[in-house]
Amino acid sequence: MSQPLVEVRDLYKYFPIHAGLFSRHVGDVKAVDGVDFTIAPGETLGLVGESGSGKTTVGRLILRLLTESKGEIRFNGQDVTKMNASQIRKLRREMQIIFQDPFASLNPRMTVGDIVGEPLRIHGLAKGKEVDDRVRELLQLVGLRPYHANRFPHEFSGGQRQRIGVARALAVDPKFIVCDEPVSALDVSIQAQVINLLEDLQQKFGLTYLFIAHDLSVVRHISTRVAVMYVGKLVELADRNSLYENPLHPYTQALLSAIPIPDPDAEVRRRRIVLTGDIPSPVNPPSGCRFHTRCPVAFDRCRTEVPAFNEYGSGHFAACHWVEEHGGKAPNLTNGPVVVSQS
């Protein structure tokens, strides 16, 4: 295998909580709590989990938009956590982001031409007419018209605004793009168009993606491998087919059971895994396995011991005591009550 483009090792990010008259440090939000993964060149790693699980924080740590509390992040063999401001500025050309909200991430006072051309000017890649020519080229690349460069963001639909965000990310010819839930704010019909655009651009330019999402059907379509996050920790990591066809962790099984099935007959007959309770607070996460408060197969060891992130099969990792004690076999959680039935 080639050297990974992105390597994340033992990554932590704690946000301090201050309270009282003297702003005493009274605790921490443990947003990312010991995460490890790699992303190969040309690959798409899907990162999924409930809201508040730390997915977006991981993406921003890799891009150096946030500073890690502890850990190592390597990009193309370089440790970016030890880079100074000048080195990080040069690195920005190789790493970009597509934000979740296509309207909030675009300056309403700037024309589309200025928005897309700004990275070119900042990095000194073009000037004058060269910027205008490159902007028109980028707009056509993402399915917009060259004359759209003279318009403002409010004149576009949500899908068109997201295409503008994609064009801006592509302006500096990056190698790696963090896609932070890029389709969650769009209509379903538009989601497919943007996903297909991202796949086409990946094929054309050899891009590498970290695709952050909570919609597992979208992640399955675009991802090479999928990582599942829960309260700041990875609980499972595998290639797309292995994870969807043989999920090991109970949390992954629950997420997959919630994906709607297009066949109405199959949808009403299948058994769903219904988790009780809410996702724990990252301020005071549960001891041991963080999922044990909602897990239907939890036992005493789960409440006291943090599970190891072990490999079961080729490239299929899971952090689960039940799976470990049963030789890599997944628990069968679909023998419970049928949530929706048909006579």
Which structural domains are found in the chain, ordered by start? 6-94+174-247 (3.40.50.300)
What is the mean pLDDT of the segment spanning 279-297? 92
Task: Decide if 323 contacts 238 (C-beta within 8 A).
Answer: no
How do 78-79 and 70-75 pair as beta strands? antiparallel
Instruction: Give helix 158-170 / helix 129-141 axis angle, nearest 10°.
Output: 130
- Beta strand spans in 132-183 (E): 176-180
pLDDT tens-digit map of 36-70: 999 999 999 999 998 889 999 999 999 999 999 99
In the numeric block, the tokens 């239907």 are attached to 296
Tokens of 150: 């003279």
pTM for the complete prediction? 0.90
HEC string of 160-208?
A: HHHHHHHHHHHCCCCCEEEEECCCCCCCHHHHHHHHHHHHHHHHHHCCE
Report the range of poorest mean pLDDT among 20-24, 206-210, 254-258, 331-335: 331-335
Rounded Cα distance, 153 and 164, in Å: 9
User: Given pLDDT bands bounded at 50, 70 and 90, which one contains residue 337?
Assistant: very low
